[in-house]
Structure 1
Amino acid sequence: MSGVRAYRPHPDRLLQWRREVGARVRDYRMLRNLTQEGLAGRLGVERRTIVRIELGTTSPPLDRILAVAAALDAVPAALMPGWPDHTSSD
């Protein structure tokens, strides 16, 4: 091996990121007047998956974040703290 180490975020940072993603998903869901069941139905997952995302107890994979964003009619970057939002025309 070349000695390159894989990036491992600090557990506190990862927890903070997961909680922020969850809060953003919840906020967008509520703005769209969707229940957790309604969002789960749009995604073809169980309600508990949405609960886990919103509580920050799981790190959703990128494909799940993209699906959630599409189901909420949101830009994916809006759900992910630290990602630039390239939708503005500045």
Structure 2
Amino acid sequence: MPAAAQPPWILDARRALGDRIRDTRMWRDMTQEELAEQAGIDRSTVQRLEAGADAKVSHLLRIALTLNIPVTDLLHEL
């Protein structure tokens, strides 16, 4: 389903998830490149996720492990 066809609450939740990833990454004093390299994903993937793109569970698991937080912290209150 294209992003435009998504209900607003899904788009809001994806943006909130991206904000949590970015906030936690910055709190850890990491660049997108550092997070991507340590998580084993492309920097463009980190960039898209932080911008609110659709997320794969495997990417979220890798990011959470790299940031040393439970994946539920990224999904909290979505």
Q: State the superposition RMSD in angstroms.
A: 1.4
Matched, 1:47 2:43: yes
Gaps of 5+ in 2: 1-5
Give the aligned partner of residue 13 of structure 2: 17
1:62 is aligned to 57
Structure 1 segments unaligned to the other structure (5+ residues): 1-9, 84-90
Letter in 2 for 1:48: S
- Equivalent residue for 2:77? 82
Give the TM-score of the pair, scaled to structure 1: 0.74
Larger Rg: 1
TM-score where L is the length of structure 2: 0.84
Task: Report if the CA contact (8 A) 1:69-1:79 is conserved.
Answer: yes
Q: CA deviation at 1:81?
A: 3.3
Question: Over residues 15-49 of structure 1, what are the superposed CA-to-partner deviations in whole Å (9 max), with x where a residue is unaligned?
Answer: 11110000000011011110000001012222111
* Moved segments of 4+, more than 4 Å: none
Give the paired residue count: 73
More helix by share: 2
Indicate yes or no: 2:24 matched with 1:28: yes
